[in-house]
Amino acid sequence: MKILVPVKRVIDANIKVRVSADNSAVDLNNVKMSMNPFCEIAVEEAVRLKEKGIASEIVAITIGDEKSQEQLRTAMALGVDRSIWIEQAGNIEPLSIAKLLKAVVDKESPDLVILGKQSIDGDNNQVGQMLAALCNMPQGTFAYKLEIEDGRAIVSREIDGGEQVVSLALPAVVTTDLRLNEPRYAKLPDIMKAKKKPIDHLTPADLGIEISSSLKTLSVKEPAGRSAGVIVNSAQELIDKLRNEAKVIS
């Protein structure tokens, strides 16, 4: 079984972002960038399926500028066999990402595509579902457990109010939730080995895809801040304030 894992380079999850002075974007100059945490989980899940003998090959793919190759190297250090880099700088809308991924799915014919459920920069939560639609594949989003049984993917999903299990015919699209697994760290020898693994370089034009955009960002602003309130000294004082000052409890 072949698994395709799309990964995205994003601002590191521990960094608090700043909005640029002209309110046009978020300032990404000189900030630490990493693999999107949900994509790390996707890579980990694919590697585990290979370790269990279920998967035979894992291909990572990213759409981004030159530097996004770093995330492909990381993925390969974690156990991905080879990578595809689609060179396209700038902010690309999820639908275009999904179209590019579909073009690669058509070429590679994977049995499973595992994506993160959400990129932590745009917080879109779209690409996996869009890819599934474009490829006419079933989708198992927000997965916290994934099993392959009798040629189907059994996906346990985190949903509002509880959990749901669906059974999907392969090929299928799965998106990861945080609870699916805990990603490993890359070991130094594996990081060295990953430098020799191949990265295929493509452009959207090679795939016959035109990048389009239907959303225009008019402004990016800092949300109204909250200022710290008061520190109370006792449970008694807290309850008094909530009852008589904030009037939120009776």
Ligand X SMILES: Cc1cc2nc3c(=O)[nH]c(=O)nc-3n(C[C@H](O)[C@H](O)[C@H](O)COP(=O)(O)OP(=O)(O)OC[C@H]3O[C@@H](n4cnc5c(N)ncnc54)[C@H](O)[C@@H]3O)c2cc1C
Ligand Y SMILES: Nc1ncnc2c1ncn2[C@@H]1O[C@H](COP(=O)(O)O)[C@@H](O)[C@H]1O
Two tokens, residue 59: 């291909």
Report if residue 41 touches other proteins, rule: CB under 8 A.
no
Nearest distance from residue 120's CB to ligand X, in Å?
A: 5
Residues paired with residue 153 on neighbouring β-strands, in sequence order: 148, 168
* Structural element, H or E, at residue 143: strand 139-149
With CB under 8 A as the contact rule, which of the stretches 13-21, 77-85, 104-112, 186-194 interacts with other proteins? Answer: 13-21
Please tell me what DSSP assigns to residue 243: I
CA 56 → CA 49, 52, 79, 136, distances in Å?
A: 9, 10, 11, 24
Q: Which is closer to other proteins, CB of 195 or CB of 216? A: 216
* Contact set for other proteins, span 183-242 (CB under 8 A): 214-223, 226, 228-236, 238-239, 241-242
Q: How far is CA 233 from CA 152, 219, 240, 246, in A?
A: 58, 42, 11, 17
> Which of positions 1-40 make contact with ligand X (CB under 6 A)?
13, 37
For ligand X, the binding residues in 136-155 under the rule CB under 6 A are none
Torsion sign (Cα): 173, 178, 180, 184? positive
Backbone phi, then psi, for 195, in 5-degree steps?
-65, -25
Q: Interacting stretch for other proteins, rule CB under 8 A, among 67-75, 81-89, 129-137, 189-197?
A: 129-137
Give the torsion through C-alpha atoms of 106, 135, 112, 158, to 10 deg: 160
Cβ proximity to other proteins: between 23 and 198 the closer is 23
How many chain residues touch ligand Y (CB under 6 A)? 23
Q: In this chain, which stretch among 14-22, 45-53, 63-71, 192-200 interacts with other proteins, using CB under 8 A?
A: 14-22
Residue 63's binding partner, choosing from other proteins, ligand Y, ligand X, none, with beta-carbon cut-off 5 to 8 A by kind? ligand Y
Q: Which residue, 169 or 238, has its beta carbon nearer to ligand X?
A: 238
- How far apart are the C-alpha atoms of 20 and 27, rounded to whole Å? 5
Return d(Cα 248, Cα 250) in angstroms, integer.
Answer: 7
53, 90, 151, 161: which one binds other proteins (CB under 8 A): 161
User: Which of 78, 81, 51 has the alpha carbon at shortest distance from 183?
Assistant: 78
* Sign of the CA dihedral running 198, 208, 33, 115: negative
Binding of residue 21 to other proteins (CB under 8 A): no
Whole-number minimum distance, CB 38 to ligand X, in Å?
Answer: 6
Strands 9-11 vs 33-35: parallel, antiparallel or unpaired: antiparallel
Shortest Å, Cβ 52 to ligand X: 25
Residue 64 contact among ligand Y, other proteins, ligand X, none, beta carbon within 5 to 8 Å by kind: ligand Y
Residue closer to other proteins, measured from CB, 49 or 168: 168
- Tell me: does residue 7 bind ligand Y (CB under 6 A): yes
Question: Which positions touch ligand X (CB under 6 A)?
Answer: 13, 37, 120
